[in-house]
Amino acid sequence: MLRVPERTCVCCRKKNAKSGLLRIVVPEDTPIFDRFKKMQGRGYYLCPDKKCVGNFMDEKKINKFLKRKITALPAWRELLKTEVGASCTQ
Ligand SMILES: [Zn+2]
């Protein structure tokens, strides 16, 4: 059987198939989605789940999870809503 690559959600620490998680990279302190999971740099994985995504909407929490100060937060929130709205089926 083929082993499915797994990653840990930065938020809830649950393991999940890499393909089922959102990948985020943070160049220049502004988070962006890495849709094809191929971008350079440190990637963070996040469940497309209300709770984890909700934590990433919160300025204090996102700074804690990504261990840095995030800028352009309103733009990021919009991006998150669009992205999760598209990929989250609940
Ligand atoms: Zn999670």
pLDDT number for residue 89 = 47
Residue 40 CA to ligand 1 center (angstroms) comes to 22
Residues of the chain with pLDDT under 50: 89-90
Residue 52 CA to ligand 1 center (angstroms) comes to 5
CB atoms within 10 A of CB 73: 16
How many Cα atoms sit within 13 Å of 5 on the Cβ side?
5
DSSP state of 45: E
pLDDT number for residue 90 = 46
State the Cα–Cα distance between residues 73 and 31, nearest whole angstrom.
9
What is the SS3 assignment for 47? Answer: coil
Q: How many secondary structure helices (H) and strands (E) does the chain include? A: 3, 5
- Domain residue ranges of the chain, discontinuous segments joined by +: 6-83
What is this structure's pTM? 0.85
Q: What is the CATH number of domain 6-83?
A: 3.30.1230.10
